[in-house]
A and B are shown apart, each in its own frame.
Chain A
Amino acid sequence: MTDLNITVNGEPHRIARPATLLDLLSDLDLDPRAVVVELNREIVRRPQLGETSLAAGDAVELVHFVGGG
């Protein structure tokens, strides 16, 4: 079973397949409550993270709040 090649926050990333978005967050040691996830420019709501499978070439954005004016 080969790894999936995806993009996370603009950088190439490999993850063992099969993988959901929740698996990716766990892989990255991120708390799902602390980030907002976009998959191929569509927001994926928290309850759907564990049901959304990743496919090769997917682009994931993980964002949160930082200081700003």
Chain B
Amino acid sequence: MTATLPTPDTALDTPLTVGGREFRSRLMVGTGKYRDNAEMVRAIEASGAEIVTVAVRRVDLDRRKEESILHHLSPERFLLLANTAGCYTADEAVRYARLAREAGFNQFVKLEVIGDRETLLPDTEGLLQAASTLVREGFTVLAYTNDDLVTALRLEEAGCAAVMPLASPIGSGLGLLNPYGIRTIKRRLSVPVIVDAGVGTASDACLTMEQGVDGILMNTALAEAKDPVAMAWAMRWAVDAGRAAYLAGRMPRREVAVPSSPVKGMLG
């Protein structure tokens, strides 16, 4: 796959602003589950993403000579967005967020408080509690949530910088299951709405962006593709295409055909 095709002209679009920072790319990517770091870096380059997520974990003391992920991702070039993945309580998520901030790159956090091990759906009560605490402590909170409008509204009220409803469960690749729910959240919130999780392939990303959301965050769709770099390109175009189509405004749906060619001037 070469980079010779031009990227869609999104000059008419405004930059995405999250937490006071501007981004040209509306595609955000994770760094988990890649076969190796070299492939991850190539996929991130291909995606054009400016925001990449990372997780906070114990240093493996038996393999401590292993290179940290920071050897591969420059904090000057990318906004490193630490997540609280794997946290099941508000207290735990707050603890992880504080550790992430102490690493010293930024005050952004992708807040996850998980409520169920099988579906990894959020614990909305814990999520709201952790969001309030972190906002009070000066964090820029991007909250991973479900497709429920009321929870999204409460997260906005709590001071979150962005709300991140799921397309479908994390790592499922099921695509956008509730376009109506996502559209409603986007329509009702003032803060950016970034769909996080569930996108499986380019058409999912395009369809999601066509709902008018501000961006998409994905990880597994790239990392588990047969060719993550090629899929990253596909996703970049899909996100830009979906965004451009949303801005262009689609034609109305009709239940009947309307000819595209003149009906006048037919031979007698």
Contact = CB atoms under 8 A, between A and B. Distances in A.
Contacts of B64: 28-30
A67 B85 CA distance: 11
A56 interface: no
A69 B57 contact: no
Report whether over half of chain B's contact residues are helix, strand or loop; otherwise say mixed: mixed
B37 to A, nearest CB: 8
Contacts, number: 91
10 contacts: A8-B61, A9-B59, A36-B100, A36-B103, A65-B55, A65-B69, A65-B103, A67-B31, A67-B32, A69-B33
Contacts of A1: none
A30 B62 CA distance: 12
A36 B98 CA distance: 10
Interface in B69-126: 69-70, 80, 82-83, 85, 95, 98-100, 102-103
A65 B52 CA distance: 12
A35 B40 CA distance: 22
Contact of A67 (B40, B59, B217): B40
B254 interface: no
B102 A67 contact: no
B70 A68 contact: no
Contact of A69 (B59, B80, B98, B220): B220
A68 B30 contact: yes
Contact of A41 (B30, B34, B70, B95): B95
B227 to A, nearest CB: 18
Scoring B31, B53, B82, B99 by chain A CB atoms within 10 A of each residue's CB, the highest score goes to: B99
B264 to A, nearest CB: 57
Point out which of A28, A35, A36, A38 has the most chain B C-beta atoms below 10 A from its C-beta. A36
A68 B99 contact: no
B102 A45 contact: yes
Contact of A68 (B54, B61, B68): B54
B170 A34 contact: no
B106 to A, nearest CB: 12
A64 B57 contact: yes
B219 interface: yes
Interface string A28-69: 111000111010010101000000000000000111111111
Interface string B221-233: 0000000000000
Contacts of A41: 95
Contacts of A36: 56, 99-100, 102-103
Contact of B32 (A30, A34, A45, A69): A69
Nearest to A68: B55
Contacts of A45: 102
B102 A68 contact: no
A68 B59 contact: no
A37 to B, nearest CB: 8
